[in-house]
Structure 1
Amino acid sequence: MKFEPDTLERRLSRRFETPIPEARQFRWIKEIASAASWLESLDYFHGDLRLENILLDETEHVKVCDFGRAMKRGCKIDVATYPFYCPAKNPVAGPAHEQFAIGSCIYTIRTGEVPYGQWETPEDFKRMHEALLQGNYPPTEDDAVLGHIVSSCWHSSFESMGDVEAAIERVVGQLCEEGSAICLSQEEHDICVQKCREFLAQQGQEHRENNAV
């Protein structure tokens, strides 16, 4: 994998020194949703979508990384990262899990803070975990553009990641003026698809072997 100079998490930490235009926020959000939707088309889900696992290239286009927890639809989720995941009974990989992470990513991009703020002590984590269990999510009304989409993602209102991508496109498609993601040729696209399928198949084999031990 090509080395990328930054992560979305680090870039947001510098938002005061280097302001982030709203159009760029919209572009990031569209690109993240597009990546998740494309992965779903392979019947896989990232499983740990959060700002630390989203790279930015030299032109600040999104490159989702760390597919070590990618799972096929319906597989049991063993590990996830709060608050980019909502605790649930018998959680499985699918649109509900993935769109919750998208909602938290959008919230963090738009506010500059992770949902529930900074939680560094066991007491902070306990309060955040209990709020997640009870469905007491941070308010989103202040974001007139994307707040309703964040809330819908947190409440699993979308049937698929394709629906999430379409909803975001409807809202910010006309507002994003910095251009779309870098396009690939058909040949480059097919090569990328094949590499992704091979990687995911290998990860699935390793996961089955580890569970068999």
Structure 2
Amino acid sequence: MFTIGHGASSALKPISRDGLILRTSRICRNLQVFYRVPRLHGDLRPPNIFLTARGDEGDIQLGDFDCAVEKGSQLLASSEPFCKVLQNYELPEGSAITEQFSLGSCIYTIRFQRIPWHDLAPPTRVQKIINGELPESPSNALFGDLMSRCWVGDFESVYSVEQEIIRLLQNKRGLQAVGTMLSSMNADLISTLK
């Protein structure tokens, strides 16, 4: 397996538009498994997102569950810029909002092959997060508006994020093309918890 953005396969070539769409949707589906448990991943970031042996077209699995928490419990880890940090550098309670924030930063990293605010020192990045500032993402970029909405917690759940991805795709490609693309996904993601 390779981690997103850190493995040999992703370092050799940029991720295609279809690759980004599939990976983002698969990450959402993996996160939904936790809602059924009910827990939150708590440390979603590219080194904890794995491509299976099928490489660029393979399935996505999440790893590093030692920071998973029950909804409403304080997060155990903060990996900037993938965690929404509160005033006084406190970690928030885990919620759909904290998972969406992490997801928005992961989408940004996968899309642009760099973390948000990559050119700033870590303390400056953390201060921007505390101040509620958002990284720039062109609204015309694939998922630009979606990333911004994730960073502000605009969705009810990660499932709602995935539904928005499907809606955006249907508007661009048509219902049948999206159905074909998504039908190749592995529906049994509960194995990622075992």
After TM superposition, the score normalised by the length of structure 2 is 0.82
Q: Distance in 1 between matches of 2:137 and 2:8?
A: 19
Deviation at 1:145, TM superposition (A): 3.0
2:159 maps to: 162
Is residue 18 from structure 1 mapped to residue 19 from structure 2 by the alignment? no
Alignment root-mean-square deviation, CA: 2.4
Deviations, residues 102-155 of structure 1 (Å, cap 9, x unaligned): 000111111111001155xxxx11211111111122111254331111000101
User: SS in structure 2 opposite 1:25?
Assistant: helix
Deviation at 1:93, TM superposition (A): 1.1
Q: Which moved more, 1:172-181 or 1:29-38?
A: 172-181
User: SS in structure 1 opposite 2:148?
Assistant: helix
Deviations, residues 30-83 of structure 1 (Å, cap 9, x unaligned): 000111122112221100001000111122321111111111111111322110
Is residue 30 from structure 1 mapped to residue 11 from structure 2 by the alignment? no
1:182 maps to: 186
Aligned length: 181
- In structure 1, the gaps of 5 or more residues are 200-213
Q: Distance in 2 between matches of 1:116 and 1:13?
A: 24
Residues 40 and 99 in structure 2, CA contact (< 8 A), matched pair in contact too: yes
Q: CA, structure 1 residues 62+144, in 2 after alignment: closer, same or farther (shift >3 Å)?
A: same
Rg larger in 1 or in 2?
1
Share of identical aligned residues, percent? Answer: 26
Is residue 92 from structure 1 mapped to residue 90 from structure 2 by the alignment? no
Moved over 6 A (4+): none
Amino acid of the structure 2 residue aligned with 1:85: C
Amino acid of the structure 1 residue aligned with 2:109: T
- In structure 2, the gaps of 5 or more residues are none
Q: Distance in 2 between matches of 1:23 and 1:135?
A: 31
User: SS in structure 2 opposite 1:71?
Assistant: coil
Amino acid of the structure 2 residue aligned with 1:77: L
